[in-house]
Every structure is written in structure tokens, then in C-alpha cells.
Structure 1
């Protein structure tokens, strides 16, 4: 059995999300900041009338902060509870991966919740992230409050 994943970059590290959770990828648009929100929330974006929280992927993965560039991408995706816009440096494309190339994260680091698995390639590894575990309950509540106030 094979699965499809959207691959994106933050710095030089490759990450992936299940393609079935992705709505679309767009070039960077204006992000309206919300001051009362959790640190992981950059603000909100309005795309075709839909106001969506913009999540700082760099902060989630403890990467150095950098200014958002017009060449960055927004990945619009769905979690169990909401739609989100994830800021990525670039999106490299869609890959297919068979079950035998996928290593479950629990086999490598038990208790790791953000990472669903790891794909092995000759030129390195790709971390597959679990969008449904991406925001903590506190962060979810903060996003809800910030969106209600905006």
C-alpha cells in the first residue's frame, strides 16, 4: 500500500504531511497579526473570504526565527478540529511512499507525538508530521480566543 505526502522545507530539513489533509498551497499573502494569541500563531490570513489561523512552523520545530518572505508558501490544511495555514520556506512537491519505506515514529522515539513517521530515502530522511497533534489543547484554546476576538 502506498501513501501520498506533500513535502516542504524549513531551512534545509524536509518535512511531510499526508496529502489527504492538504487543501492547497499558495504563495505568501499578508498575515494579520493577533496580539493576544499563542506564540505559535503568527496571525490570520483571509483567503477567498475564509479567515484561517497562520501557524509558525519554525517555532513549532524550535528553528531559528526569520522574517517571512514573499517567496514563502502557505500550506492550507485540515486538522480534526480546524483549518490551518502553515508557513513553509518552500514546497518541493508530492511524493508516494510505500509502507516498507515508512518507519513509525514510535519505533524510533517512543512518546513522540508530533511526528507520525519517517521516510527513508537514499539522500536523507523526511519527517512526517501528525497535524491532529500539532497544536496542544492550550494552543487550540488560545487560537479559538484569538479568532473570536478578530
Structure 2
């Protein structure tokens, strides 16, 4: 989603984390799955919660709670994983609940929150009748150092069954 050229409606996947709503551009979302057991990934950056084996594909699960400064919570079978892409890399985001898709009309879109200091990873905000939803840009979610550290950890990952 290009925050500077939002003349047409965009579809966004809405999700909740700690009773707060967030969104991801639907073009970044591959699928939604129920939470499953994770494998610890040694040498991964702190933002990586673990490794998910999804039908034979190993996917790093990013810890949104840590990144957004929410309290840690054990994995629950009620959690969802949003399988998405951060540019070239597939990732899973653990969320409390996926709410569904929502078309964001051009008059509901505001790109200015992404320009504010301290609001990293944000492409903009959807001004919905029931509240403001920050829409995240996964391409900026991992710092360059974190991406390199994750590449190294994935290259040295243990064999999984």
C-alpha cells in the first residue's frame, strides 16, 4: 500500500492484539491459520517468537506483542497466525483474533500517522466509524540488522521432522 497515492479504496485485514485493532494491506496477506506449536529458533532476533512448520514450509513468527510493547502472553490455541510477506520473506504474525477484511475508502484513509515520530511500521490509519485502525507496513517491520540476523538464524536452523 502506497500511503501517498490512496485515491481508490484499499482492502485491509483487521486484527486485534490486546484489545487494540490493527490492519494489514490484503496484498501482503497470504493466508490465516490457527496458532500451532512453535520451534525455538536459536540466534534469531528478539522480535522472532519462533519457527512455524506450515505444510513443510518453515516460517518465522514475529512477536507483535514485543514489538508493540504489549505484555507477553503464552501461545493460545485461540490465537491466529496471519501468514504474510515482508517483501521477499514469508512471516507469520501471532494475533489474538483476525476480524476479517474491510475495504477502506479513500475518505477513510489518512497517511499522516506514518510520518509521525515514534510510529514506526505504519503505512497510515483507517478512520472507521468505530475507531481508528493503524495499518502496518511489513516491509519496514524488521530492521536491516534484524533481517540479517534472521537470515543467519534460518541458515543455521536445526533440522525439523
TM range (shorter): over 0.9
Residue 122 of structure 2 is aligned to residue 102 of structure 1: no
Does structure 2 retain, via aligned residues, the 8 Å contact 1:105–1:115? no
- Counterpart-to-counterpart distance in 2, 1:37 and 1:82: 15
Partner of residue 10, structure 1? 17
> What 5-or-longer segments of structure 2 have no aligned partner?
1-7
In the TM superposition, what are the counterparts of 1:1-150 in structure 2 within 5 Å?
1-106=8-113, 109=116, 112-150=119-157
- 8 Å CA contact 1:105, 1:112 repeated in 2: no
Distance in 1 separating the partners of 2:114 and 2:56: 42
C-alpha separation in 2, matches of 1:36 and 1:78? 21
Segments of structure 1 that go 5 or more residues without pairing to the other structure are none
> Closer, same or farther in 2 for the Cα pair 1:67/1:111, shift >3 Å?
closer
SS in structure 2 at match of 1:143:
helix
CA distance in 2, matches of 1:110, 1:13: 20
TM-score, normalising length: structure 2:
0.88
- Whether the aligned pair in 1 keeps the contact of 2:49 and 2:63 (CA below 8 Å) is yes
Matched residue pairs, number?
Answer: 150
Q: How big is the shift at 1:137?
A: 0.6
Cα offset for 1:122? 2.2
Deviation at 1:112, TM superposition (A): 3.9
